[in-house]
Amino acid sequence: MATRIRSSSKRCAVVGGSGFLGRHLVEKLVEKGYSVSVFDIRQSYELPGVTFHQGDLCNKQDLLVALRDVSLVFHCASPAPSSDDQALFQRVNVEGTRTVIQACQEAGVQKLVLTSSASVVFEGTDIKNGEEDLPYAKKPIDYYTQTKIQQEKLVLQACNKEKGFLTVAIRPHGIFGPRDPQLVPILVDTARRGKMKFIIGDGSNLVDFTFVENVVHGHVLAAEYLKPDSPLCGKAYHITNDEPIRFWDFMSRVLVGLGYDAPRYHLPYSLVYGLALLLWLLTLLLRPLITIKPTFTPMRVALAGTHHYYSCARAKHDMGYKPLVSLHEAIAQTVASYPDLRRGA
Ligand SMILES: NC(=O)C1=CN([C@@H]2O[C@H](COP(=O)(O)OP(=O)(O)OC[C@H]3O[C@@H](n4cnc5c(N)ncnc54)[C@H](OP(=O)(O)O)[C@@H]3O)[C@@H](O)[C@H]2O)C=CC1
Ligand SMILES: CC(C)=CCC[C@@H](C)[C@H]1CC[C@H]2C3=C(CC[C@]12C)[C@@]1(C)CCC(=O)C[C@@H]1CC3
């Protein structure tokens, strides 16, 4: 009996475990002795100690199979922000998360750790050292953020100590690291097309970029500290590198590390934002005829030209969080992990 209890408390599921963050999390959990059930719409790798269940998280019956005998669930699945598909975000992030919660409750899961996003409070204007009690964005910058807000509310409201179902949300920001399919590849693609020459605004805006290993560490700590008598129940926690950096310095360090030139020429923020807005309206109007994917979307311009960095004092206080890898080391490891993206490769 004792063996059974111990083994089931070391059984967990990662919904979205085939994705960038999900896979890093799965690898860490296996290293820590967990047996892991991955539930994802696709299978992207194989690993001893990991069972894969392919399915859509909107389907409760599929989920229930993956959650059998599991006491802890991490939910880090989402459509990519770049898909910009309102109906898909609503279906997966909102309706799907409702289904994940119901499936967890039916399967007798005790803890649910959600990967939310620090952007749930971002409206496209400066946030400096933002704390978790900032209000949710009234005008979220895109459909992705809008549904991440709804998702976080659903998960935190589901926390119920009496019923033995505990929830917590981790809010990372600007995750990067080896195998990231978004940040560095988009940056390099933009540089290769000769479009990384300009700095939007005066270049002094500070932003959090968070190494994936630190994000994983925050998730594992949250799962371990989430107990009926802990302050984590039903709360959100920022997890960052705790080293805000000038957005354009970060971009330049990655670009130069990979052999590209750093952006040099300044453009006024309001001009670029206005142009991006016009282009976005044009793509909406032309959508029935052609699909355009502009490099400069209003969301990207806002991310590139404003301050948005967050305090992780709450995570430090409540779960002893401290980043494990410094920004300097994280950038070096990331750059070294992309030999195929180097200039001339
Ligand atoms: N990357 C970042 O900078 C940040 C990410 N986050 C959050 O972190 C989480 C992980 O992000 P990241 O690892 O970058 O994203 P990925 O896209 O790499 O991973 C998400 C995974 O979920 C899968 N998925 C999507 N829809 C479904 C579905 N209906 N059913 C089952 N699986 C599905 C995806 O499959 P497929 O690829 O086929 O769609 C993918 O494998 C997300 O919740 C995201 O919102 C928060 C802050 C910053
Ligand atoms: C901190 C945070 C939330 C980062 C998210 C990552 C992406 C939003 C960035 C990854 C590559 C970035 C990028 C731009 C904006 C932000 C990213 C998409 C630009 C479009 C900004 C304007 C340019 O000059 C080109 C940039 C290409 C790369």
Q: Is 267 in the pocket of ligand 2 (CB under 6 A)?
A: no
Q: In angstroms, how far is CA 342 from the centroid of its own chain?
A: 25
pLDDT at 337: 98
The count of C-alpha atoms lying within 13 angstroms of the C-alpha of 218, restricted to the half-sphere facing its C-beta, is: 34
**CA gap 30, 35 in Å, rounded:** 6
Helices 97-107 and 143-157, packing angle to 10 deg = 20
Please report the atom of ligand 2 found closest to the CA of residue 296. Answer: 20
Q: What is the reported pLDDT for 9?
A: 67
**Residue ranges lining ligand 1, Cβ < 6 Å:** 16, 18-22, 40-42, 56-58, 76-80, 92, 96, 115, 117, 148, 172-175, 181-182
What order of strands is seen across the sheet that includes strand 206-207? 127-130, 308-310, 206-207, 245-246
Can you say whether residue 157 is alpha, beta or left, with left for phi > 0 and alpha for psi between -120 and 50 degrees? alpha
* The length of the chain, given as a count of residues: 345
Residue 70 CA to residue 9 CA, distance in Å, equals 7
Ligand 1 pocket mutation, candidates 39, 44, 73, 76, criterion most atoms within 8 A of CB: 76
Q: Is 83 in a helix, a strand, or coil?
A: helix
Q: How far is ligand 2, taken at its centre, from the CA of residue 171, in Å?
A: 19
Residue with tokens 């400066």: 126
Tokens of 311: 């305090």
Q: How far is the CA of 305 from the centre of ligand 2 (A)?
A: 10
CA dist., res. 174 & res. 342, Å (int): 21
Identify whether 144 is a catalytic site residue: yes
Q: Whose CA is nearest to atom 27 of ligand 2?
A: 187
- Strands 175-176, 127-130: pairing kind: unpaired
Provide CATH code, domain 11-176+210-244+309-325. Answer: 3.40.50.720
> How far is 237 from 278, CA to CA, in rounded Å?
36
Chain centroid to Cα 116, Å, comes to: 7
- The DSSP bridge partners found for residue 236 are 169
**Distance of CA 15 from the midpoint of ligand 1 (Å):** 9
| β-bridge pairing 210-211 and 175-176 | parallel
DSSP conformational letter for 54: E
Which amino acid type is present at position 29? L
pLDDT score at 160 = 97
Determine if ligand 2 sits within 6 Å of the CB of residue 296: yes
- How much is the pLDDT for 297? 86
Q: Are 211 and 184 in contact (CB under 8 A)?
A: no
Domain borders along the chain are 11-176+210-244+309-325
6 membership: H or E segment, kind and range = helix 2-9
Per-residue pLDDT of the chain (345 residues; tens, 9 = 90+): 333 333 356 899 999 999 999 999 999 999 999 999 999 999 999 999 999 999 999 999 999 999 999 999 999 999 998 887 899 999 999 999 999 999 999 999 999 999 999 999 999 999 999 999 999 999 988 899 999 999 999 999 999 999 999 999 999 999 999 999 999 999 999 999 999 999 999 999 999 999 999 999 999 999 999 999 999 999 999 999 999 999 999 999 999 999 999 999 999 999 999 999 999 899 888 888 888 778 788 888 999 999 999 999 999 999 999 999 999 999 999 999 999 999 998
- Would you state the pLDDT for residue 61? 97
Calculate how far, in angstroms, residue 19's C-alpha sits from the geometric centre of ligand 1: 6
Q: Which residue has the tokens 């400069």?
A: 296
d(C-alpha 316, C-alpha 322), whole Å: 6
Could you say which DSSP state residue 289 is in? T
Nearest ligand 2 atom to the CA of 118 is 3
